[in-house]
Amino acid sequence: MNDSVSLPTWTKLAKRLFYFAVQSGGSFDIDYEVKDPTDKVLLDGVRERQGDYVLTANTVGEYAFCFENDMSTLTEKLLDFDIMVESEPRREPPAKPGQIAEQTSALEESVFRLNGMLLNIKRTQKYFHTRENRGFDVVKSTVNRLFWYAVLESLAVVGMAFVQVYVLQTFFTKTGRRYKV
């Protein structure tokens, strides 16, 4: 593949969220491959517009994310790419004097829930950003097509005017002699 991204070493059985979306360029499609440290292909896709996957790291090491744009080599593509940790082990904070462990765990649970909700909002915003970019590209394409349609239509009207003048002139000419109107 043309472009690849290697990530820091993952721990075994860690879950990672892998998200990508083509923001602009061509038909908004790209080929991709995800390989583990032993070069085994975990995920692959051809002509995909976007993807949202959960990967489990079964092997410790660097994972490669490869993207390929061979089907439209003349068109550059802008790709939104994100990898998030889903199940990271929690660190135990040092115990403070006079602090109750139950209150700390309830507070931590609230923080983790809020973090999950914020990540969900972030993903939703990325989705809407992708939709906005694709919609804008469709609008630009439509405006361009309307412009050329209007130019061709204007040329057709002018051409028809010349044809009508020629036809009318041929009606009023008789074997080399013209009648004046």
For 21-63, what is each residue's pLDDT tens digit?
888 877 888 899 998 888 899 889 988 888 888 888 778 888 8
CATH code, domain with 21: 2.60.120.680
Same domain, 116 and 80: no
Q: Provide the pLDDT for residue 21.
A: 87
Distance from CA of residue 46 to its chain's centroid? Answer: 14
143 domain residue, yes or no: yes
Total domains in the fold of the chain? 2
Nearest to 57 by CA among 73, 79, 40, 32: 40
63 domain residue, yes or no: yes
Domain with 9 in it: 1-86
Distance in angstroms (rounded) separating the CA atoms of residues 10 and 113: 24
95 domain residue, yes or no: no
Last residue of a domain, one of 86, 119, 148: 86
Within a 10 A sphere around the Cβ of 25, how many other Cβ atoms? 18
Q: Provide the pLDDT for residue 1.
A: 47
Q: Provide the pLDDT for residue 2.
A: 53
100 domain residue, yes or no: no
Distance in angstroms (rounded) separating the CA atoms of residues 123 and 117: 10
Nearest to 126 by CA among 44, 17, 31: 17
Q: Provide the pLDDT for residue 109.
A: 84
101 domain residue, yes or no: no
Q: Provide the pLDDT for residue 9.
A: 55
77 domain residue, yes or no: yes
94 domain residue, yes or no: no
Nearest to 5 by CA among 22, 15, 20: 20
Last residue of a domain, one of 86, 115, 132: 86
Q: What angle do CA 172, 173, 177 make, to 5 degrees?
A: 130
Identify the segments of the chain with pLDDT beneath 70.
1-14, 86-104, 174-181
